[in-house]
Structure 1
Amino acid sequence: MRQLCRGRLLGISVAIAHGVFSGSLNILLKFLLSRYQFSFLTLVQCLTSSTAALSLELLRRLGLIAVPPFGLSLARSFAGVTVLSTLQSSLTLWSLRGLSLPMYVVFKRCLPLVTMLIGVLVLKNGAPSPGVLAAVLITTCGAALAGAGDLTGDPMGYVTGVLAVLVHAAYLVLIQKASADTQHGPLTAQYAIAISATPLLVVLSFASTDAIHVWAFPGWKDPTMVCIFVACVLIGCAMNFTTLHCTYINSAVTTSFVGVVKSIATITVGMVAFSDVAPTSLFIAGVVVNTLGSIIYCVAKFLETRKQSHYEDLETQQPQGEERSQVETSCLLSWRSCRRRRWLAGPKVER
């Protein structure tokens, strides 16, 4: 029981950290795009990946982290995740350029539904619980309601926004699949992804001329802009790790719901700081519905956790010299079946 509570506390802590880093990165990137007209998005992505790769390699060589050395087998294990991670980051940056920050958040709030559907098809773990399903549908309806009041963005921004949601959902599901198919933890996953993606991003940064023209950018004379740029790179590294860690410990759908919870603060900051969209009644109603869906999801996951604890107690505290009742046997068989399908599997923590 104590181990279960410790695991759940770790899962909640990682989810909160992911929400903080993700929301902060969205706001800072929007500052770079809107206030400073910093359009070198490929370079930001390249520096984020290379910083993570160099830092993790240095820590590995110093013996401070226990990850295997990079090789062909490690790269092959995370090849699909690497491709989707790179594509998802690119689409996110481009959709931030074409959409207002609140409207970008509206698109991201459709992520739980897409993640759940792709997860059912790829992970083949059966249908979600009624509570989770209701929370996902309510959240998606809230996103549609909030988005109905704003159709003023760049058409290409809407295209990249839809693609970003699809690729992001596939990325999260593939992370969860990799956590089940490999013995590597989230730190090893980030190490492999960063090293694999960095050479490609370096080539893309030169092909897009970002790495060439960025030196002539006049904003480098502004210390505030430089600080925001450095913060984006560092927070991007932290966000990538918490994305992997949250998905490993919790699930792909839970990670997508973290984005829904942190969207309220992001929307508020976006409306106050950028003034690129007015808070209409439809938009506010959509935010309220989204909040309701998030609350329902938290309650549903809490009930699932309590049920898991009950099943573990039945499994570990068997009455000696007595046969189990039919109800206990049914519960234990159901619990073991869920464990085999990794519905309620414990976290894979990497030292």
Structure 2
Amino acid sequence: MAKGGGALLPMSAEAGKGNGGGGGGGDDAALFKGSAMTRRGAVAALSYMACSVLLVMFNKAALSSYNFPCANVITLLQMVCSTGLLYVLRRLKIISFTNSEPSVPSDALFFVPFRILLRTTPLSLAYLLYMLASMESVRGVNVPMYTTLRRTTVVFTMTMEYFLAKQKHTPPIIGSVALIVFGAFIAGARDLSFDARGYAIVFVANITTAVYLATINRIGKSSGLNSFGLMWCNGLVCGPSVLFLTYIQGDLKKAIEFPYLYSPGFQAVLLFSCMLAFLLNYTIFWNTILNSALTQSMCGNLKDFFTVGIGWVLFGGLPFDLLNVIGQGLGFLGSGLYAYCKIKGK
């Protein structure tokens, strides 16, 4: 249930911390001596990477393989499913929305105090921009180049962390990030499928992702809400906005008239997309609050190895090019160096 040690899913960062330098057994034990990441933090990172790879594949299948014209409708469906599932789980008291025992009656309108809902509004707006830009960015760029360009998010994340939280990083961390960005430029130097609009949308998605992750790190820890509570607030604030946007753009009408709407294959793709979006949102909060915004971005780079390989096989993309392979290799090397520094506490 939502309390004690019987929770079905980790609820909050506090459950994963508490071993500042020596104490905690079990899940809070460091991976290695002197580690800056706990076992719980590692599980959160790996869970995020698995969900992210699968979600990109299903979103790409819907938008490219089936040529579904309405990315915003998929975003809306993901929000509706996520919010509905959270409502049912909270109503049945399987989960809680707070780090402590709920202080709000179960029949309260929002399940969380209205003042906290207002406090999380900047986070929800950042989430809205992140969702819309990320979904649209998948459409115009092939999967290998999408992952290559998305790898530059770490630079924006470091910048946002510095301005919002005055977070500074050590030279090894900065060096690993520089290696990632250098590799991304090398990999994209001879992209024969260059699409200026697609590239621009990906970079907008990078900026919105950085803002979102930095906001999670800043607001998530002070709101008193756990990952489920933050997801709930996002759904309440963003759902009506996305519904209004899809309506005025005519996307709802296009979706109803979509020729494959009742195809079992397309419906299965949408179902898995909604399920994975829920799990991905949860693991993003979990990983970012437990570890850091920059670690979340770096996890996005590490999982790209699988995204590139699977995307290349399933959807095609760039023809084989040695320069692209070298650039991809440099990016993965930089991600590996960051992971090493993080685990060793450097």
TM-score between the two structures when normalised by the length of structure 1: 0.83
The answer to whether the 8 Å contact 1:30/1:97 transfers is yes
Give the corresponding residue for 1:213.
254
Return the offset for 1:163: 0.7
Query: Which amino acid counterpart does residue 38 of structure 1 have in structure 2?
Result: F
Query: Which amino acid counterpart does residue 100 of structure 1 have in structure 2?
Result: N
- Cα deviation, 1:295-333, whole Å, max 9, x if unaligned, reads 21111112218xxxxxxxxxxxxxxxxxxxxxxxxxxxx
Structure 2 CA distance, aligned partners of 1:303 and 1:218? 53
Pair 1:60 & 2:90 matched? yes
The answer to whether the 8 Å contact 1:21/1:239 transfers is yes
Pair 1:285 & 2:326 matched? yes
Return the offset for 1:267: 0.9
* 1:143-158 correspondence runs (5 A): 143-150=184-191, 152-158=193-199
The answer to whether the 8 Å contact 1:98/1:153 transfers is no
* 1:129-140 correspondence runs (5 A): 129-140=170-181
Query: Which amino acid counterpart does residue 75 of structure 1 have in structure 2?
Result: L
2:114 paired residue among 64, 68, 72: 72
Structure 2 CA distance, aligned partners of 1:199 and 1:101? 30
Query: Which amino acid counterpart does residue 74 of structure 2 have in structure 1?
Result: V
2:61 paired residue among 16, 31, 50: 31
Instruction: Point out the structure with the larger helix share.
Output: 1
Return the offset for 1:2: 5.5
Structure 2 CA distance, aligned partners of 1:77 and 1:153? 41
Give the corresponding residue for 1:347.
none
Give the corresponding residue for 2:78.
48
Query: Which amino acid counterpart does residue 32 of structure 1 have in structure 2?
Result: A
TM-score between the two structures when normalised by the length of structure 2: 0.84
Structure 2 CA distance, aligned partners of 1:236 and 1:214? 19
Structure 2 CA distance, aligned partners of 1:197 and 1:233? 16
* 1:255-266 correspondence runs (5 A): 255-266=296-307
Residues 173 and 98 of structure 1: CA distance in aligned 2, closer, same or farther (over 3 Å): same
Corresponding pairs, count: 304
Structure 1 CA distance, aligned partners of 2:194 and 2:25? 46
Give the corresponding residue for 2:24.
3
1:174 paired residue among 203, 215, 222: 215
Tell me, which stretches of 5 or more residues in structure 2 are unaligned? 1-21, 29-37, 98-103, 105-110
The answer to whether the 8 Å contact 1:42/1:208 transfers is no
Structure 1 CA distance, aligned partners of 2:112 and 2:23? 36
Q: Which deviates more, 175-184 or 87-96?
A: 175-184
CA RMSD, aligned part only? Answer: 1.6
* 1:91-240 correspondence runs (5 A): 91-125=133-167, 127-150=168-191, 152-240=193-281
Return the offset for 1:116: 0.9
The answer to whether the 8 Å contact 1:50/1:195 transfers is no
The answer to whether the 8 Å contact 2:48/2:283 transfers is yes
Return the offset for 1:133: 1.3
2:221 alignment partner, SS class: helix
Return the offset for 1:220: 2.7
